[in-house]
Amino acid sequence: MKVAFQGERGAYSEAAAIAFFGDGIEPVTCPTFDAVFDAVDCGECERGIVPVENSLAGSIHRNYDLLQRHTLSIVGEHIFRVRHCLIAHPGATLTGIRKIISHPQALAQCEGYVDRLGLEREPWYDTAGAVKSLLEEARHDHAAIASRRAAEVYEMQILASGIEDVAANYTRFLALAREPQAPMGASAKTSIAFTLPQGGTTPGSLFRAIGVFAMRDINLTKIESRPTPAETFNYIFYLDFEGSQDEPRCARALDHLREMAPDVRVFGSYQADDTL
């Protein structure tokens, strides 16, 4: 099965894809998140995987916008523990390193460690791409911050592991497909988006909208708003709730929501990851 992900080989997204789908997949690199959605949309890949939320950095808004733009379905989620490693050429020593390169977010998450080393830092477009550049440009006095898998893919040396400043660093990934899957049971989760008239300026409109879930004892696990590109200061509300869209009480809640929301989009029901 071909699975599209954003980044170079060895990226955290590739590691998450293998952890979720298994070792038998064929990972397909994509330069952008847009390209991941397009690869699944056009049938080039059977599945895609994208990050939507990090426990430290928050939501990745671009992928929420792409969910709204495309007609793909969410068919799974994976909570991935991010462990940063300091990676350099085989034979390199920490005392010989003068610069560390990585994605700005990875550099920020390892800021304390880098500060203690007193080394120069340089932002890079991708964590795995930083390791790839060490190999291609023979930068023996440079090190990169990336995943253990990136070191394995490019046959580089890990100088230190677990260098992130906060150990509880998790990223939530969503698995995408062209066709929906609807699991049932206590561990099912559903993701939707909806809008309200005039951006929800009617007093209590948002309260009434989410109340359709509360009155049926349906637990909400996330709610977030994003501006709509079509209307100034109008908002799309992204919401996750426990349960499958095919369960009677969840189906009734969605029907009730449609009575007050002009647009309701169900992205999919899927098995929730109970890692945390």
- The catalytic site residues sit at 171, 173
Alpha-carbon gap, residue 190 to 202, rounded angstroms? 26
Burial class (CB in 10 A: 0-12, 13-18, 19+), 213: buried
Share in percent of the chain as helix, strand, coil (round to 5): 30, 35, 35
Alpha-carbon gap, residue 114 to 108, rounded angstroms? 9
- Alpha-helix runs per DSSP H in 70-198: 104-109, 111-117, 127-137, 148-153
Strands of the sheet containing 142-146, edge to edge, are 120-123, 99-102, 142-146, 85-88, 157-161
β-bridge mates for residue 7, sequence order: 30
Alpha-carbon gap, residue 242 to 257, rounded angstroms? 16
